[in-house]
A and B are shown apart, each in its own frame.
Chain A
């Protein structure tokens, strides 16, 4: 069975500080996808990033960056120079990658980020 763990339930920072969100996953699949979603106070779930299990290259996209380490089953997410608008709950998620997998997502419990002005 797949499992995603986000050990941090809440993080509070002051604007312009960096925020790193931890995510640890468990899966028996050799090929899978990892995701980060954002849920702002308005409630919708917004897709942020996706990573393939066979590509461990870490990237930066604007103020977002992620660190995927297959050896430790971790997929951490960093917001650089945080802004008040980054205040939200962030979810890490995992899915199988095969054609018959159905793209089912297993979500972590979420980390609430509060960015204070």
Chain B
């Protein structure tokens, strides 16, 4: 089975431009997560969805960031306008709720998108 697929792998853009990162979760998974990794802050959760519905966006840094999940097989993370401090690696992950009172709770990560904002 294919894993979590992210595109693009690398994105270089200029300050002020709109950036859209894409993610295709593992088929059948009902949770989707967006993380950001920087040297200063490490890995931090931005937002997560359950069954396509945003559950917790408390990690989204500011209004310039938005995320959508229009269907079970696709999600986007958009930054508009982008700033140099947004430069980071953005990871998407998905997991499956195994039911029976406890989640299966293993997140599988995509290869990440390395974003550079000049």
Contact = CB atoms under 8 A, between A and B. Distances in A.
Taking residues whose C-beta sits less than 8 angstroms from the other chain, chain B's interface range is 20 to 34
B112 A102 contact: no
A61 to B, nearest CB: 15
Given A91-B43, A109-B42, A44 B103 contact: no
Given A43-B89, A45-B91, A107-B42, A102 B55 contact: yes
A98 B89 CA distance: 29
Contacts, number: 64
Contacts of B91: 45
A33 interface: yes
B102 A47 contact: no
Interface of B: 31, 33, 42-45, 48, 50, 55-56, 89, 91, 93, 95, 97, 101-103, 105-112, 114
Interface of A: 31, 33, 35, 37, 42-47, 50, 91, 95, 97-99, 101-110
26 contacts: A33-B105, A43-B111, A43-B114, A45-B112, A47-B109, A91-B43, A98-B102, A98-B103, A99-B97, A101-B103, A102-B31, A102-B48, A102-B55, A103-B31, A103-B33, A103-B48, A103-B95, A103-B105, A104-B48, A104-B56, A105-B45, A107-B42, A107-B43, A107-B44, A108-B42, A109-B42
